Amino acid sequence: MIIRTHIPVSSSHISDYVISIWEVYGDRKIKEAILPQGVVELVFNLGDGMTGILPGDKVVKTPSCFIQGLNTNVINVEYTGQQHLFGIRLQPPMLKSLLGITPAELKNSLIDLTLIKKHFLYLWHQLVEVRSFEERVTVIETEFPLIKKSDCVRTQKLCNMFFSNSIEGFESVELLAESVNYSTRQVNRKAHSLFGVSGEELTAYKKFLQSVKLIHTANYSLTEIAHASGFYDQAHFCRIFKMYSGITATEYNTSKGHSPFHLFL
């Protein structure tokens, strides 16, 4: 499997709302379980057919290009041919300006992008026709509009903290509110509008994300990972990890591959 990633430079006009651009090129007939990753992203399927198995065993054939919101459930995916995906991860506050929808509307959802804007079908054709990842990045930087960064400094800080590699501020809703100079009620409202979850759920979600990253990057025991991820005890860590992943942290640690949040079956 080949994985490529591009982080827009600060001088790029898309850097205010695009977190990263990625591409995955893999083998045929792959089955994988994708754990919640805490992202909102546009995905273009440049390869063969792809089938998603959603919670409740609902089977869906994914469209050629789609947007998926923040997931709190595991998604099982099966590729029936050559795997080739190209994705764009977005800053949640900018989604309304870009597509006219809010992140809360996308929670645990996958929506055909051509139903939102028909221009995405033209964009898909452009991405298919060019030969390299670098050329596809250029297509995005050419076709995507200039959008002004949100004027709300606190909103931007909350998002930056959520997407950072630090757990600081997410130990509790009270600490999060203090960090961004909100009341706990304001944090709840903002968490729901940006991510579709409550403030309490957002802090638990961030701790889960941090624990998965540390399992892949740190030479820690699971007890040390629980502490470093902000969980107040091992039992809380085990409960939250299984709630989001469907398996225990030990099972994930044993079966993990090179890509965090992805388990190949």
The CATH number of the domain holding residue 245 is 1.10.10.60
Is residue 218 in a domain?
yes
**Which residue has 């990890």 as its token pair?**
241
Is residue 148 in a domain?
no
Here the CATH number for the domain that contains residue 60 is 2.60.120
Q: Which amino acid is at 59?
A: V
Contacts of 200 (CB under 8 A, 6+ apart): 173, 188
Name the percent of the chain lying above pLDDT 90. 62
Stated pTM of the model: 0.89
CB 4 within 8 A of CB 10: no
Nearest to 252 by CA among 51, 36, 70, 79: 36
d(CA 32, CA 264): 4
Where among 114, 143, 172 does a domain terminate? 143
pLDDT bracket for residue 30 (50, 70, 90):
confident
- State yes or no: pLDDT of 60 exceeds 70: no
Split into its structural domains, the chain has a count of 2
CB 214 within 8 A of CB 228: yes
- State the pLDDT at residue 55: 53
- State yes or no: pLDDT of 54 exceeds 60: no
Question: Do residue 157 and residue 138 come from a single domain?
Answer: no
- State yes or no: pLDDT of 122 exceeds 80: yes
Question: Do residue 179 and residue 126 come from a single domain?
Answer: no
d(CA 166, CA 25): 30
Q: Which residue has the higher pLDDT, 153 or 61?
A: 153
* pLDDT tens string 75-98: 888 777 778 899 999 988 888 888
Alpha carbon 219 to chain centroid distance? 24
d(CA 263, CA 6): 23
